[in-house]
Structure 1
Amino acid sequence: MNIIPAVDIIDGQNVRLTQGDYDKKTSMKRTPEEAVQFYSTFEQVGRIHIVDLMGALKQNALETTVIGKLKSLTDRPMQIGGGLRTLETIETYDEIGIDYFILGTRAIMDIDWLKEVVRLYPGRIFVGVDARQDDIYVNGWTENSNITIDDYVSEVEDLELAGIIYTDINKDGMNQGPNFENTKRINELTKHTVIASGGVRNKADLEKLESTGIDNAIVGKASHDDAFWEGIE
C-alpha cells in the first residue's frame, strides 16, 4: 500500500476540515513544515498530498510560497490540489518542482481544457472526483456539478492521467472508514489508478482497501496521529 499523507493549508497553517465544511476547521499539532518532514521518514509514504484549501474556495492558488518551501523539505514526490484553474498556475507549480497536479472543479466542468492540460503534462495530472453518493461536487465541495461519477469516468478513460482521486465527502474527517464499496466499484470501472481518499482511520482500513484492489490511499486526519504510524515502516 502506498500511503499518501495529506497536509491541508489555510493561511500557512496545517488544518483539517470535517466533510469539507470551512466552519468546521481543526488545527493540527504539527506545522506544515514539521508534517512534511515527519511523513518523509516512512518508507510506505510514496507521495505527499498538499491542498490549498482557500485556493479551492477562492478559485485561485494562494499558498504557492508556502508550498514551494514544503517541496524543498522532502525528497518524496508531491501532489498539489486546490485552486488549479489555469495553465499559468500549473506552470508556476511546475517551476517550483511540484511533481503532480490535482485538478478538480475546472477539470470536471471543462473536459476540453482538461484534455489540453493532459497533453502538456502527460502522466502528471490527477483528477479529483469528490462526491456525495454518485454526484460529483465542485468549488470546494460547495456545489453539485450535476455530473455523476460513472459519466465522468467514462469521459476521461482515454486520457493519459496519473490517476483518479476518489473522495466520499460524507466520509471525510468522520473517523468512520472510507467508502470501500464505491472505491472498489470505481476501480473496476476504469483502467486508471484509483486513489482512495476520505475516512481512512488505521492500518486495518488500508489492508481492507488493498484487499479490494486499491493500493494507493490518501490519509488525512489519521495521519496526524502518531498511533496511526505504529507498525508502518
Structure 2
Amino acid sequence: MILFPAIDLKDGACVRLLRGEMSSATVFGEDPGAQAASFVAAGCEWLHVVDLDGAFAGRPANAQAVGAILHAAGEVPVQLGGGIRTMGTIESWLDRGVARVILGTVAVEEPGLVREAAAAFPGRVAVGLDARGGRVATRGWAEETEEDAGDMARRFEDAGIAAIVYTDIDRDGAMKGPNVAATDALARAVAVPVVASGGVSSLADLVALRDTGTVAGAISGRALYDGALDLRAALEALR
C-alpha cells in the first residue's frame, strides 16, 4: 500500500482544514517546495497535492506553489487535485510535470470529460470521490449532491481511470481515524485501485487500511504535520 503525504495549498501556503472548512485552515508552512523536499527526503513514493483555492474557484489558483513542489519532488511523482475542470487545464498540468490529475467536481458535472481525458492520457487521470454520509460533495465540498459514492465509482469503472481517491469528509483533518469499512467496501465494489483519504492519524490506521487487502493507498496530512505519524517509520512499516 502506498502512503501519499499530502500538501494542501491555500494562499500559497501549506495548510490543513478540518472537514473541508476553509475557515478552519491551520497553516503548517509558508514554503510548499521545502515541505515537498522534506517528504521526498523521508523516502515517499508519491506526493498528493490539493489546490484548495482552485477547488472553490474552479480554476488553478496556486500554480506557483505547485511549480515549487514539482521542482522539489524531482523524480517522485505528484498527483494534483483542485480546480481541474477542463481538458486544457488537464493538459497544462500534465505538460508541467504533474504525474496524475484528480478530477472531482467535473466527474459529477461532466463525466464525459473524465472519459475523454482518461482515454487521452492513460494512467494519468484519477477520479476524486469526496463523500459526506456516503453522498458525493463537489466544488470544494461546498455543495452536496444526491450521488451515492459507490454508484458513481462503478460508473467510471470502465473509463480507464488510474485510481479513485475516496475521501470521507467527516473524517478529514479530524484525527479520528479513517473510515476503514466504507473504504474497504468501495474497493471491493470496483476493480479500479482505491486510495483512502481522511482521518489517518496513526501507524495503526495505516496498518488497518493495509490489512484490508483491498486498499491501494492512503493519504495523510495533519498527522504528519502534527508529528502523530512519523513518515520514515510509516513508510518502513508499510514496506
TM-score normalized by the length of structure 1: 0.95
User: Cα distance 1:113–1:128, how it changes in 2: closer, same or farther (>3 A)?
Assistant: same
Per-residue CA deviation, residues 3-60 of structure 1 (Å, 9 max, x unaligned), is 10110111111111100001111011463122101110233x2210111101000111
**Partner residue of 1:4?**
4
RMSD, aligned α-carbons: 1.3
CA contact (8 A) 1:109 1:145 kept: no
User: Is 1:155 aligned to residue 155 of structure 2?
Assistant: yes
**Greater displacement, 172-181 / 25-34:** 25-34
2:12/2:30 contact within 8 Å kept? no
Equivalents in 2 of 1:227, 1:150: separation in Å?
Answer: 31
Aligned residues between the structures: 232
1:195-206 to structure 2, matched below 5 A, reads 195-206=195-206
How many angstroms does 1:227 deviate by?
4.5
Deviations 1:92-119 (A, max 9, x none): 1112111000000011222111111111
Counterpart residue number, 1:184: 184
Q: Given the alignment of the two structures, is residue 49 of structure 1 paired with residue 48 of structure 2, yes or no? A: yes
Partners of 1:57 and 1:29 lie apart in 2 by: 21
> Residues 157 and 64 of structure 1: is their aligned pair in 2 closer, same or farther, counting only changes over 3 Å?
same
Report the identity percentage. Answer: 35
Gap regions ≥5 residues in structure 1? none
* Structure 2 CA distance for aligned equivalents of residues 2 and 58 of structure 1: 30
Equivalent in the alignment of 1:219: 220
The separation in 2 between residues aligned to 1:31 and 1:89, in whole angstroms, is 24
1:231 is matched with 233
| Structure 2 equivalent of residue 24 of structure 1 | 24
Q: CA deviation at 1:225?
A: 3.1
**Structure 2: distance between partners of 1:95 and 1:146:** 35
- Paired with 2:47 and 2:204, the residues of 1 have a C-alpha distance of 21
Deviates more, 1:23-32 or 1:98-107: 23-32
Q: TM-score, length-normalised on structure 2? A: 0.93
Structure 2 distance, partners of 1:23, 1:227, is 23
Q: Kindly state the Cα deviation for residue 145 of structure 1 after the two structures are TM-superposed.
A: 2.1
What amino acid does structure 1 have at the position aligned with 2:134?
Answer: D
